[in-house]
Chain A
Amino acid sequence: EAQVTQNPRYLITVTGKKLTVTCSQNMNHEYMSWYRQDPGLGLRQIYYSMNVEVTDKGDVPEGYKVSRKEKRNFPLILESPSPNQTSLYFCASSFSVTRTDTQYFGPGTRLTVL
């Protein structure tokens, strides 16, 4: 089954404790992206990757890191999480970023930073 998976689905952590949210897709997609979703603010793009070893900042990259060592995986790293990073996070992928390509979203990771 073609899908985007994220782990963990739920996480409660404390300020300053490094964490990684994994994202994996099995559709051989070139493009992957991370978003956070907060009430009243909608989805905001954190980072994206056009292909292996090619990443760039989205609208709200502060406090986050990403890497793209393999085509299928695009982990999101929070080196020192803070309470304002409490949010619902979505990973998404698409075959490429052409005019008609849509994004397929993972199931989401709900993160709470205390």
Chain B
Amino acid sequence: GQNIDQPTEMTATEGAIVQINCTYQTSGFNGLFWYQQHAGEAPTFLSYNVLDGLEEKGRFSSFLSRSKGYSYLLLKELQMKDSASYLCAVRDLDNFNKFYFGSGTKLNVKP
């Protein structure tokens, strides 16, 4: 099974940088995903990490440490439209078809 933890809610200021953490305890690991979900909408893909290190995509970066069971999503130059929930998900090692999601972190960006 999988146990994935994320903070429930965070608040940050427009223009700032925010880091959203995700820790996981899994029986096997085969990749970690971050999704963004605006209220009332479907999740949309942000990033994918399978090896240790930092993946950068514009204002968003994601980091993974497999030995620590830890990932973070870094959002730079925050904009009001970044107010959303951010979901961390891991794929099962033994079964590529199974995915486990954290409960999500609701990010509030204030002016």
Contact = CB atoms under 8 A, between A and B. Distances in A.
Nearest to B47: A102
A58 B1 CA distance: 11
Contacts of B96: 97-99
Interface residues of A, number: 26
A35 B50 CA distance: 23
B44 A42 contact: no
Nearest to A104: B45
Contact of A102 (B40, B45, B100, B102): B45
A43 B98 contact: no
Contact of B87 (A43, A45, A99): A43
Contacts of A102: 33, 45, 48
Interface stretch (A67-75, A76-84, A105-113): A105-113
Given A48-B97, A99-B31, A107 B103 contact: no
A42 B101 contact: yes
Contact of A90 (B4, B42, B100, B104): B42
Interface string B73-109: 0000000000000010100000011111111100000
B61 interface: no
Find the residue from A33, A35, A97, A104 having the highest chain B CB count within 10 A. Answer: A97
